[in-house]
Amino acid sequence: MLTGISPLLSPELLMIIAEMGHGDELVIGDGNFPAAAMAQRLVRADGHRVKPLLEAILQLFPLDRFVEKPVGLMAVVPGDRTVPTIWEEYRSVVQQLQPERIAGGFEMVERFAFYERTKEAYAVVATGETELYANIILKKGVVDPAAK
């Protein structure tokens, strides 16, 4: 155990986010997401929901400041009437922890384009999230000592 670091972050996930470089992407998938089929590196976070993991990750993980939208969400498939309320929770988390990174809003990524980006992502975190369209992409930025 470590102090000051969420117990939701496993040693494996901590290692992965630490070794990621600027521009690398981390995908957090909901319980329906085909994470194992697409991941180059898969981290299991079964039983955990995305929002608390997102909060824990963004405490340590700087979002990319050189792109307009460093956070991407899987867009609702045309014709599907689902209204993902979890997106507002994500917006609240990013607004609270890294408000300067949400000015451009979230990138909405079509389902199959999201899958293709996932195949190229540095790692994928598979969760037990039950909300639909709860998948999210985080683009890592740089740790800027001058910004602290």
Rounded CA gap, 116 and 99, in Å?
Answer: 28
Q: What pLDDT score was predicted for residue 148?
A: 55
Active site residues: 22
CATH of 24-134, one of 2.70.98.60, 3.40.1650.10, 1.10.3720.10, 3.40.50.10490: 3.40.1650.10
The helix/strand/coil state of 140 is strand
Q: What pLDDT score was predicted for residue 123?
A: 98
3-state helix, strand, coil in the chain (%, to 5): 35, 20, 50
Per-residue pLDDT, averaged over 51-77, amounts to: 97
User: pLDDT grade, residue 43 (50/70/90)?
Assistant: very high
Answer whether residue 36 shows pLDDT above 70.
yes
Average pLDDT, the chain: 96
Rounded CA gap, 16 and 28, in Å?
Answer: 13
- Domain extent listing, the chain: 24-134
User: pLDDT grade, residue 127 (50/70/90)?
Assistant: very high
User: pLDDT grade, residue 147 (50/70/90)?
Assistant: low
Torsion angle defined by CA atoms of residues 45, 50, 55 and 57, in that order, rounded to the nearest 10 degrees: 40
**Model pTM score:** 0.95
Measure the N-to-C terminal CA separation of the chain; round to a whole number of Å: 26
Looking at the chain, the whole-number percentage of residues with pLDDT higher than 90 is 92
